[in-house]
Structure 1
Amino acid sequence: MTMQQRKDCQFKSECGRCYHNKMSTSDVSLPVLDENEKKIVNEFCHLLEKSKQLFNGLRDLPQYGHKQWQSYFGRTFDVYTKLWKFQQQHRQILDSKYGLKRWQIGEVASKIGQLYYHYYLRTSETNYLNESFNFYSAIRQRGYYSRASKEERPDLMVKKLRFYARFILVCLLLKKMKLVKDLERDLGKQIDDYTSTYQPEDQSEWKTVLSEIREFEDLKYSELTLDMFRMLQTLEREPQEDLSNQIYDASPAPGRPPYLLPSYMKKEENGDRNNRRENPHKYLLYKPTYSQLNTFLASGFKELPPTGIILLYISADGSPSSMKHGDDPAYDLGGVVTNARREGEEIIRTKKLGHLKEVHCLHPGDLYPYTRKPLFVIVDSDNSSSFQNIPNLFGQPVVCLLSPERAPPTMQDKHRRGNLFTMFLHDPLMAFCYVCNIYEVPVDLWDKCTGIIDKFMSEASKLFSRSKKLDNMYIQFIGDDFLRLLMLRFVFCYIVLILHRGFKGPNFYPTCSPLLPTDEILEHPVLYKVVLDLSTLVDNRTLFAEPGEGDLHGAT
């Protein structure tokens, strides 16, 4: 076997060494192996190659669909489990006789971390996310990639950069923000090292990745002090108790780049509310094209169980129509831009016709086919009102919770960076502090505020159950714990903003469809009093108007 053949084999398999039954006697660079050592090395190479084949095969599976992936994932997990245990049991022989390098161990660990992460995405089981974190954390602590730059192979440096990017994503989802900052600094240094050494074509892409991580980090906790962040970490509910922690972990980035999250949620079976709800199968799409979004929605629609509900969360910049009044609300009012990319042929065709429309704009009418099953829509956009009149065409419940379209001048920058509506739905108390310009809260005060928020939710829940004017659409959804929580937080958002002196006019308030009863829920004195009590507790009472003072009526 020639030196070149050996190098080619090493590059293709990343095995470090490749043993053949027949070797040239002049090849003295390979150590002599006894039969047991040959068996161990060959078994390791077999497991390594098999694991790579299965892992690469995962890329061929469609990202949508819920049934065909599980058996394939299971086989892949089994092989990687055997591989990981095998290299641990025979590390000494693999190090001395095979030339196993630490970055190769790191690569195996990194792929196991990826498997756990994708299993989490498919199942929403947080324990898989924690397992992914454990493997990524071990890679960093043990320095598996610490000597990757010494190999003089740019592909290894890319593997290292990808490891950092994936680790940061997992930490963001687990809200380990202090670690995110450390990893972000490390990633920045690694990107500088990579680009200065190899001057690759993808350096601008990696700079963009780093920039987006920093924007995302600034977005979520830009003005919270470290002490408050630590307090929030302590006070957070477990994800199993409050599924909003799972649904809204990926908060919109500056300028509302589109996030669209179609998901289904399984309702209680056999009428027993005490049964544990199955975790929702969810898709998280970042800047999808229209065809991608439609494909994922159709797949979720197809696999929705009989008692399931489609939940679609949209955060995107609006694409308002130039038509002030249209005959068809399905398309004449515009929608939201899911992706700014344009198709070349479409541009030419629309220019010839004398007008130009967004190719990847999601219009309300695009959702009409999916109203054949229960549909719950949340839209956070400056053109959210375009989704205000989705009709009930098939007798199934359809509810839309829609964000304010404007923010006060003093909060416009924050509004762009934080998507206030999403914050209210995710963490009402944090959102309340945000609109009150409060960035430091002692732990004991936070506990008291949390008690008042809980009181608001309890009172609002009673009003929902007692209301005689509540639309049947809400009644059909209110039995679901998570959707009921979203409705209650929507009401809290509405009342806070309608009482806040800085928010003036219908465009500053959230809206909903169908309408919630104003006198029985949205402007009920009991709920007003709870919000005002909260403002008094945080010493910001002057920011809020008294009921009956001025125009407190929004558009619902």
Structure 2
Amino acid sequence: MTGAETDEDNIPLGERKTVTDFCYLLDKSKQLFNGLRDLPQYGHKQWQSYFGRTFDVYTKLWKFQQQHRQVLDSRYGLKRWQIGEVASKIGQLYYHYYLRTSETSYLNEAFSFYSAIRQRSYYYQVNKEDRPELVVKKLRYYARYIVVCLLLNKMDLVKVLVKELSEEIEDYTQRFNTEDQMEWNLVLQEVAAFVEADPVSVLRDSGSALVSSHRLQDGCVPALEQGMVVGQLALADALIIGNCNNQVKFSELTIDMFRMLQALEREPVNLTTQTNKQGTLEPSEKPAKRENPHKYLLYKPTFSQLFTFLSASFKELPANSVLLVYLSATGVFPNARLDYEGPYEMGGVLTNTNRDVLNGETGQKRNQSQKEMHCLHPGDLLPFTRKPLFVIVDSSNSSAYKNFTNLFGQPLVCLLSPTVYPKNVQDQAQRGSLFTLFLYCPLLAFLSVCGLSSVGQALWERAHELLRRTYHDIAQLLARSRTIDQAFLQFFGDEFLRLMLIRFVFCSAALRLHKMFREVRSYPESYPQLPLEDTVESALLQKHILDLAAMLDVTNLFWSDHDSLETY
């Protein structure tokens, strides 16, 4: 049959087939996309083939609607919001692929599609239709777009998007008198809090704020010196766990989780989404790959969920690789002081605050003398010390992990936050923990603890240069110490872990010199213990900190020499 032949509806058969093929691809894409929700979130390999099939169908669907737009407009009645929905789903696929792989190039891919939706006004006509569910699609698109922009540090665009989202929410709630107004207003509040979370603003000469990336960049980690003996381990997996009710949260991420997520990533490469000569956006099948540790983000996981993810990550950990566990959560303390201080007697951190959930069902409240079901004790991690394990605990009971036991002789290090902060530091806890801020961006943390709320760009860059020299010297102090536990050096070959260790030492030294931090509990600790004289209390490191304080004109906040420290 030829295209001139028509069916009973007088539609050319070729055009009818185009509509039929489009409907098939559309239905298949929705079916596959919905199926992604049923896949286990843990494990590296189970989901890849399914994701590949889903992405292939969406790529075909996207190109098909581009090639046959005129027929689909006239014979199917294709609306621009439907094109926008397909583009939004592709953006979601890229974003979830980023979450699964930690390859930041996929964030750029998601951004390209989300940006195209806004630039081409795909959702513009939605507000003219009397269908609240379509407006909700538009609002959810905005929320997802904002998350991607936050992760890419596009703060100026985030502010524009938040304003647009606020207007859209106001229009939506006035037109439809819906019951979810409070939920959408809460989204706005959470985004605003995320944007304002950094305690210090870096100002250009014009007065506008400078937004810096705090991901790992080439040249920012001190290189290993020739002949330096360190381990050849590489960070492969990281579990980032958050449960701090007083902290800023947005899209299942606390500000501490957000910061640690970025601290364990390299700077994204350039956009890889293809735009052809006609300006047509096309999905890129093979975004450029950068090596990042794979990360699981767990917000308020139950113990069962957390143990499942730990087990899956442990099982798939490659040879000569490291598992990192980051805990930012409320402390759980023992009910009474016991003679025996074992791995389950000193408490731990609370990963889930729903005390009434038992095996997924609501039950009676337990006797408060019993141990908390969702508390992660140091003993819970002992089975996973059969392979190299790097633990970071930011909690009011981080000290529970101080007496960790290395049963299997594998490399094991725990970096532990202070358990008590001075009052004015506690008051800023909603913006994130000071300890995690030091691991994320030490200069921001240093400025914050010195009470500075803004700094000029030129001074910021000079301070960063001094900090780079300080990092170099800290690396040498750690590598050359004769009394340091070899576990630290076994992790030193990995750039991410080397940077965490260097920033930890800087944090420890800065807080010990700061006059406001008077209690021992206000200092970070580690397992195994670092040799303080060789590292944290080194005269060279203290000089660097005092030079930085002098550069920022806050010398009066720090002890000026070692004698005054001992006297105090």
Choose from 95, 98, 108 the match for 1:120.
Answer: 98
What is aligned with 1:480?
Answer: 494
Tell me whether 1:255 sits opposite 2:246 in the alignment.
Answer: yes
Matches within 5 A, 1:460-471: 460-471=474-485
SS at match of 1:147: helix
SS at match of 1:504: coil
CA distance in structure 1 between the partners assigned to 2:369 and 2:213 by the alignment = 53
Give the conservation status (yes or no) of the 8 Å contact 1:149–1:157. Answer: yes
Contact 1:319 1:336 in 2 (8 A): yes
Q: Contact 1:252–1:419 at 8 Å: present in 2 too? A: no
Q: Secondary structure at the match of 2:64?
A: helix
Letter in 2 for 1:503: F
Counterparts of 1:284 and 1:40, CA distance in 2: 42
Task: Report the Cα offset of residue 250 of structure 1.
Answer: 10
Residue 43 of structure 1 deviates from its aligned partner by 1.4
Q: C-alpha distance in 1, partners of 2:240/2:456?
A: 24
**Are the aligned partners of 1:80 and 1:112 in contact in 2 as well (CA < 8 Å)?**
yes
Distance 1:40 1:456 in 2: 65
User: Among residues 441, 459, 469, which one is paired with 1:427 in the alignment?
Assistant: 441
Deviation at 1:128, TM superposition (A): 0.7
**Larger % of helix: which?**
1
Q: 1:444 deviation in Å?
A: 2.3
**Residues 419 and 234 of structure 1, relative CA distance in 2, 3 Å threshold:** closer
Q: Which residue number corresponds to residue 211 of structure 2?
A: 233
- Aligned pairs for 1:258-273 within 5 A: none
Q: Which residue of the partner structure matches residue 138 of structure 2?
A: 160
Q: Distance in 2 between matches of 1:174 and 1:67?
A: 26
Q: Is contact 1:338-1:362 (8 Å) kept? A: yes
In structure 2, stretches of 5+ residues that fail to align are: 1-5, 222-234, 266-288
Supply the distance in 2 between the matched residues of 1:301 and 1:197 (Cα, whole angstroms). Answer: 51
Distance 1:195 1:437 in 2: 41
Alpha-carbon distance, 1:321 to partner? 2.0
* Aligned equivalents of 1:262, 1:423: Cα separation in 2: 12
> 1:54, 1:126 → 2: CA distance?
24
What is residue 309 of structure 1 aligned with on the other side?
A: 322
SS in 1 for 2:311: helix
Partner of 1:78: 56
- Alignment equivalent of 1:100, drawn from 78, 86, 89: 78
Q: 1:411 aligns with which of 414, 421, 425?
A: 425
Is 1:359–2:373 an aligned residue pair? yes
Q: Is the 8 A contact 2:385 2:410 kept in 1?
A: yes
SS of equivalent to 2:325: strand
User: What residue is the counterpart of 1:8 in the other structure?
Assistant: none
Give, in whole Å, the separation in 2 of the partners of 1:251 and 1:197.
37
The AA in structure 1 aligned to 2:428 is K
Residue 234 of structure 1, CA deviation: 5.5
Q: Deviations over 1:206-230 (max 9, x none)?
A: 33333322222222x3552664996
Do structure 1's residue 389 and structure 2's residue 403 form an aligned pair? yes
Aligned residues of 2:324 and 2:391 also touching (Cα < 8 A)? yes
**Does 2:475 align with 1:497?**
no
Contact 1:262 1:296 in 2 (8 A): no
Once residues 213 and 235 of structure 1 are traced to their aligned partners in structure 2, the CA distance between those partners, rounded to angstroms, is 18
Question: How large is the Cα RMSD of the aligned pairs?
Answer: 3.1
CA distance in 2, matches of 1:479, 1:324: 40
Q: 1:290 aligns with which of 289, 303, 307?
A: 303
Of the candidates 378, 389, 404, which is equivalent to residue 375 of structure 1? 389
Question: How far apart are the structure 2 equivalents of 1:157 and 1:201?
Answer: 14
233-242 or 391-400, larger mean C-alpha shift: 233-242
CA deviations on 1:150-189 (whole Å, 9 max, x unpaired) are 3222221221121111111111111111221222222233
Choose from 427, 437, 445 the match for 2:451: 437
Report SS of the residue matched to 1:283: strand
Give the C-alpha shift of residue 491 in structure 1. 0.5
The answer as to whether partners of 1:323 and 1:332 remain within 8 angstroms in 2 is no
Shift of 1:312: 0.8
Q: CA deviation at 1:550?
A: 4.1
Cα pair 1:112 1:135 within 8 Å, conserved: yes
Q: Measured at CA, do residues 88 and 42 of structure 1 come closer, stay the same or move farther in structure 2, by a change above 3 Å? A: same
In 2, the alpha carbon distance for the partners of 1:217 and 1:251 equals: 19
Aligned to 1:212, the other structure's residue is in SS state helix
Say whether residues 1:206 and 2:148 are aligned partners: no
Q: Structure 1 stretch 55-64 or stretch 330-339: which is displaced more?
A: 330-339
> Shift of the alpha carbon at 1:531?
0.6
Percent identity of paired positions between Structure 1 and Structure 2: 52
Distance 1:368 1:176 in 2: 40
| 1:399 partnered with 2:413 | yes
TM normalised by structure 1 equals 0.85
In 2: Cα distance, 1:92 partner to 1:298 partner: 52
Residue 222 to residue 435, structure 1, CA distance change in 2 (3 Å):
closer
Residue 348 of structure 2 aligns to a residue whose secondary structure is strand
CA distance in 2 between partners of 1:416 and 1:324 (Å): 30
1:280 to 288, 293, 300: 293
Seen in structure 2, the aligned counterparts of structure 1 residues 553 and 331 have a Cα distance that, compared at 3 Å, is farther
Aligned amino acid, residue 350 of structure 2? V
Matched, 1:334 2:347: yes
Could you tell me how far apart the structure 2 residues matched to 1:345 and 1:142 are?
49
Structure 2 residue 489 is matched with structure 1 residue 511? no
Note closer, same or farther for the CA distance 1:40–1:470 as it changes in structure 2 (3 Å cut): same
The letter for the 1-side match of 2:192 is: R
Q: CA deviation at 1:283?
A: 0.5
Structure 1: distance between partners of 2:33 and 2:99: 16
CA separation of 1:250 and 1:371: change in aligned 2, threshold 3 A? closer
Compute the displacement of 1:540 (Å): 1.0
Unmatched runs of 5 consecutive residues or more in structure 1: 1-20, 26-31, 267-275
Aligned counterpart, 2:127: 149
- Which deviations, in whole Å up to 9, do the C-alpha atoms of 1:396-436 show, x marking residues without a partner? 11111011112212222123422111111111111111111
Query: Does residue 1:46 correspond to 2:5, yes or no?
Result: no
Residue 323 of structure 1 aligns with which residue? Answer: 336
Matches within 5 A, 1:502-541: 502-541=516-555
Partner of 2:467: 453
Give the letter aligned to residue 255 of structure 1.
Answer: N
Equivalent residue number for residue 36 of structure 2: 58
Is the 8 Å Cα contact of residues 351 and 374 (structure 2) preserved in structure 1? yes
Bigger CA drift: 208-217 or 308-317?
Answer: 208-217
Relative contact order (C-alpha < 8 Å, sep 6+): which is higher?
2
Q: Does the 8 A contact of 1:407 with 1:415 survive in 2?
A: no
Compute the displacement of 1:144 (Å): 1.3
Whichever residue aligns with residue 529 of structure 1, its letter is K
